[in-house]
Amino acid sequence: MKNSSNKFRGKNNKEYKKNSDFGYYSKNTNRSEKNDRFLNNSAKNKKVENLKKNDENNTFSSLKRRNQRFKSNTEFSNKNSDIHQDLIHKRNFDDWIWGKHSVYEALSSDRPINRIWCTSEIFSSDKYYILLKDLKSKGVLIEEVSWNRLSQLTYGASHQGVALQLACSKTISLEQLIDFSKHNCQNPIIVALDGITDPHNVGAIIRSAEAFDCKGLIIPQRRSAGLTGTVAKVAAGALEHLHVSRVVNLNRALEELKRNGFLVVGLSGDGQISISNFKDKVPLVVVVGSEDKGISLITQKKCDFILRISLKGKTSSLNASVAAAISLFHLTGK
């Protein structure tokens, strides 16, 4: 029995070996290997997918950053363009003309002109020289400037070396103003401005002068606001009914007025005579100075009298246009 059992065990062992030879266990090992491979491959695939996702996220975030940068750049450029447009809108160019042909036609058509900017080449050219000299003698302010300065004034427009600003009203010569004032009134009053560069003050003085029936206004070529749109607006229509003479030199103009029988009086806080005590009934020229500097010393020497407005309160001075209005009220009521 022992032998048979051994034989049987041996057979079973052989069969087991056979079975092992036939690969029953080898199938299980292959399955485990395949599972390992599958797990390894899946892990690798997951890593690849994660890398792809990371790359996609990186590219998306980089694109997002680029878009944000692009947006910020475009917003910055748009802001710059908006600022440029705001600057253009702040300066009103409705009364401006630039360009060689446009300016030449405006000069030839006898339109009222306040100011001209041009390069030295334009000023000395045969086409413009005589026209500009004639306008300068009539009181139009002409400035020779560089090309870059003209570009700044016109905000980069194609100016071709020349630009001008139109006036809202025509001016007349000093001789014409003297003749007109004497023929229309026995004791006319003419207002002369010395160094008033604020257009709001000039417009307000024009309004007061016309309201008190003054016969004209004298403004110097330099150190004075011209007859711009702001002046016309503040004057509220009075500029259409008041004659204005723009002179090259105010002091020479005062001397000419004195030769024609006018008395020249200046307004100053340091005046010797109170305006309420001034009783002379003669043709008058009332000189109004700027608020900060007043009448210049040279112009004060040309005045026959320096008048003051007596103030009763604690305020030591008045606005130039207010002082002019009060003075004209006193002088026209005599």
Two tokens, residue 262: 């006018």
Query: pTM for the complete prediction?
Result: 0.65
Better pLDDT: 288 or 226: 288
Helical (H) or strand (E) element with 191: strand 189-194
Is the pLDDT score of 10 beyond 50? no
Q: Mean pLDDT throughout 158-167?
A: 86
**Token duo for residue 125:** 């050219």
Does 279 fall in a domain? yes
Based on the structure, what is the number of domains in the chain?
A: 2
Going by C-beta distance under 8 Å and a sequence separation of 6 or more, which residues neighbour residue 261?
Answer: 182, 282, 283
Please check the confidence at residue 307 and state whether its pLDDT lies above 70: yes
Tell me, yes or no, whether 151 lies in a domain: yes
pLDDT digits (tens, 9 = 90+) for 111-161: 888 889 999 998 888 888 888 888 888 878 888 889 888 888 888 888 888
Q: What are the tens digits of pLDDT across the range 82-112?
A: 544 555 455 667 778 888 888 888 888 878 8
Q: Are residues 139 and 286 in the same domain?
A: no
* Cα–Cα–Cα angle for 267, 273, 275, rounded to 5 degrees: 60
Hey, what are 100's tokens?
Answer: 């060689």
Reduced 3-state DSSP string for 106-119: HHHCCCCEEEEEEC
Arithmetic mean of pLDDT, 203-224? 91
In degrees and rounded to multiples of 5, residue 144 shows phi and psi of -90, 120
Residue 325 has pLDDT above 80, yes or no: yes
Same domain, 127 and 239: no
Same domain, 159 and 115: yes
Which pLDDT belongs to residue 36?
53
> Which residues form the domain of 289?
174-332
Q: What is the CATH number of the domain that holds 317?
A: 3.40.1280.10
Q: Give yes or no: residues 219 and 268 share one domain.
A: yes
Residues 105 and 210 in one domain: no
For residues 251 and 318, membership in a common domain is answered with yes
In a domain, 23, yes or no: no
Residue 121 lies in a domain: yes
The structure tokens 């079973």 sit at 12
Same-domain status, 294 and 235: yes
What stretches of the chain show up as alpha helix (H) in DSSP? 2-22, 24-90, 100-108, 120-123, 129-137, 147-153, 174-184, 199-211, 229-235, 250-259, 297-302, 320-332
Residue 176 CB coordination number (10 Å): 13
DSSP conformation letters of 105-162:
HHHHTT--EEEEEE-HHHHTSTTTHHHHHHHHHTT-EEEE--HHHHHHHTTS---TTE
Residue, of 107 and 19, whose pLDDT is higher? 107
Give me the chain's average pLDDT, please: 77
Residue 27 counted as domain residue: no
The domain that holds 138 is classified in CATH as: 3.30.1330.30
Question: CA-CA distances (angstroms) from residue 51 to 57, 58, 65, 114, 265?
Answer: 10, 10, 20, 74, 93
Contacts 24+ apart (CB under 8 A), 236-241: 236/203, 236/207, 238/206, 238/207, 238/209, 238/210, 238/211, 239/168, 239/169, 239/203, 239/206, 239/210, 240/169, 241/210
DSSP 294: B
